[in-house]
Structure 1
């Protein structure tokens, strides 16, 4: 690109505004369409929590069988992370986004018509595939579709994800109070609206010039720093999804009240991922903040493990876990992006694959452990797992400290390179907007879908 190109005539005054003064609400319809889809997509994470006991009762299934709704969804999401780059590099961002939305609509609707837990588990897996394709491309589409107010578009994206995480359980509780089928049909209808809006309002996106390889995310595991941080993510996700997948059975609440509990949990996840983690990191550093958060998360899991027969203790500990999950989500992702010696999309795919494997297997394992032992065991195991994650992370303590120090240095990072490519591929964008947005995205780490911290520059390119 060259600055002599100038801004196209149609860019309009919004594109020329300084990013610091733009409102997040001054966005094109395309941005709003994808942001709405983001809200609904991330509702899917906690949507089924309030209806787990109802499903077990009405379909005569054991808790371990019902927990397979998490396992199928997350394991398929994990595996799909390995191919999303390959797919999007051949279809283009918009087509990948639309395919993901179609899959979510179809499988969510069919799940609502199911007559057995096995059918729901299978259709939930298809839902996970669609969600992986959607998550992998939504930010790029939002950024590329914005004709003005880029910084506002990112803020809007963060807000959409936070609302989705918090409102998913609430929607599940409201609709689940009517019927266990309600949450599935509700998501299908909302996602259908999002699909139509996306197909109509989001401009076409070209296919990338360079196609991704299927083997890149697996080959990236050869790098010790990426493997170490990914295993850390797997271990804390084991504790995270043990709470998310089995604690509802210990609360003895109606779907509506369960929705309220997990809504409060989701609000804490969003607040501490977006605001708490960066603040703690700036004061204590990535490593020390994560050590403390993981130890406290282990204590939180132990509270449930020691008092599983006291619903008040289980409810309080479950809600409080949102604090530690929010901090861990942001900072472990930041660690991955900061010290992994591979491009950000590859690191994100590899990390997503490893961590979601842990998240998917934990709820099923929790149910089986309760069946064979008692309700204490899975939560004590979760506490041990997250403590092990802290020990594993300590083996790259030096690299994390170096990454924190490098944040003060100016340089070209792989985050900026990825941002320039993602934004630059969109037709009709002025160069100034491309460079400004590339710099903005470099200051954010995407990870779990909740941006909010600055990723360290790539030290391979001083």
Structure 2
């Protein structure tokens, strides 16, 4: 059966209301990643907490998101895409509001954990839903998803920063309101999408890690995300500025990440190849983290490096996920869940360790991030023989391959 996204039907902006509802929810969902970054120092100050304690806002969110990836296929293959999306949105609405109502860092950390569960259910299903329902070509459907991702990542820090200037609670309540609107729109406009294919077992993503290619790519991504989450946690502290200013800085980071995810990464990959483009981005990001470690007390250096880091992260966010799909002879949803489990759950340790190191030495978290990212380069090059040379997957239709060659399945 041909999906609506496979037939060109005019401009990609002319989409069914159901597609716009899911795309809007994608924007708000991806905002959650950078939302808390500008308010970390405010939360630490007003709740009398240390950097090691507020680091758990990232750790709990990412750890639960990663572990929950093991059950997303199990859930969606049984109750369908619409119910899975709605379940994820309901959890995000409830626990983003709960986070804003808490009076302790521990309470916020717990709420962020349940928020991560909702986020996993939603993001694991949203791309497939947009591709199924969108009008126009597959590339147009993927572009719509990528645009929502980029806008969400870019808006997260600025929304968090501006609302955080009012109160550290305001960003959490703001997300709850926006996600409730997205929940209503999704429930009203999104039709029921029947489940297709075999039901997925919870154990399938774990079993897939026995394939060396998938394991190498997943561990590489774990290490670079270790550096990424370290940057997210550690950068606001040496800046010692307002939540609004931190928001603007990370807004620049998000814009560069979005631009490179959509346009820069495909161009670079076409010029130097998949593995080489990943290595280039890893080396560049490791160098930025090392520069930040050397000149941590120089605020202009931190600002410039944070913004430039968006370009390298945007490259790998686009190039690595399609590579994952061709790294093991398993269904793509299983490979994606396996990869997401390793990189999110494993890398969630990064901000926790960074918070611990910040208490003792403000330079050390950046050195840790640089070392982890450099180790990713060593790992990828040492076991390059296990990684498929091309990013096109070996299973499924040519139409599906086209999606995975262009989509960021994060």
TM-score by length of structure 1 reads 0.85
Give the direction of change, closer, same or farther, for the CA distance of 1:327–1:415 in structure 2 (3 Å limit): farther
- Alpha carbons of structure 1 residues 392 and 49: separation in structure 2 relative to 1, 3 Å: same
CA deviations on 1:321-347 (whole Å, 9 max, x unpaired) are 111111122222233223233221111
- Are 1:395 and 2:376 counterparts? no
The residue aligned with 1:43 is: 31
Change (3 A) 1:370 1:89: same
CA contact (8 A) 2:127 2:409 kept: no
How many residues end up aligned between the 2 structures? Answer: 410
Indicate yes or no: 2:305 matched with 1:317.
Answer: yes
For the residues of structure 1 that align with 2:254 and 2:43, how far apart are their CA atoms? 22
Aligned to 1:424: none
Aligned residue among 254, 260, 263 for 1:266: 254
Q: Which moved more, 1:262-271 or 1:323-332?
A: 323-332
Distance 1:440 1:226 in 2: 20
Is the partner of 1:170 in helix, strand or coil? helix
In the alignment, the residues of structure 1 paired with residue 102 and residue 74 of structure 2 have an alpha-carbon distance, to the nearest angstrom, of 32
Specify the SS of the correspondent of 2:116: helix
Report the CA distance between 1:440 and its aligned residue.
4.2
1:77 aligns with 2:39: no
Q: Is the Cα–Cα contact under 8 Å of residues 92 and 206 in structure 1 kept in the other structure? A: yes
Instruction: Determine if contact 2:138/2:403 at 8 Å carries over to the other structure.
Output: no
Determine whether 1:380 maps to 2:342.
no
Q: Equivalent residue for 2:224?
A: 236
Superposed CA deviations along residues 58-98 of structure 1, whole A, max 9, x for unmatched, are 00000110111000000000000011000111110000000
Partner of 2:409: 447
Change (3 A) 1:195 1:401: closer
Residue 177 in 1 paired to residue 158 in 2?
Answer: no
Evaluate the alpha carbon distance shift between residue 42 and residue 33 of structure 1 in structure 2; reply closer, same or farther with a 3 A threshold.
Answer: same
What secondary structure does 2:38 align onto? helix
Secondary structure of 2:244's aligned partner = helix
Q: TM-score, normalised by structure 2?
A: 0.95
| Conserved 8 A contact 1:27-1:149 | no
SS of equivalent residue, structure 1 residue 83: helix
The 8 Å contact of residues 12 and 136 in structure 2, kept in 1 or not, is answered as no
Q: How many Å separate the matches in 2 of 1:193 and 1:144?
A: 22
How far apart in 2 are the matches of 1:175 and 1:316? Answer: 24
Aligned with residue 416 of structure 1, among 386, 397, 401: 397
Structure 1 or 2, whichever has the larger Rg, is 1
CA-to-partner distance for each residue in 1:238-259, whole Å, 9 max, x for gaps? 1111111111111111111111
Question: In 2, distance between residues paired with 1:302 and 1:441?
Answer: 36
Q: CA RMSD in A?
A: 2.0
Q: Secondary structure at the match of 2:11?
A: coil
Deviation by residue 1:102-153 (Cα, 9 ceiling, x = unmatched): 0000000111111111100000100000000000111122222335565433
CA deviations on 1:7-26 (whole Å, 9 max, x unpaired) are 9xxx9xxx69952x621111
Could you tell me how far apart the structure 1 residues matched to 2:16 and 2:291 are?
47
> Aligned ranges for residues 422-441 of structure 1 at < 5 Å?
438=400, 440-441=402-403
1:446 to 1:122, Cα distance in 2 relative to 1, 3 A: same
Check the 8 A contact 2:96/2:173 in 1, yes or no.
Answer: yes
Cα separation, 2, equivalents of 1:388 and 1:37: 35
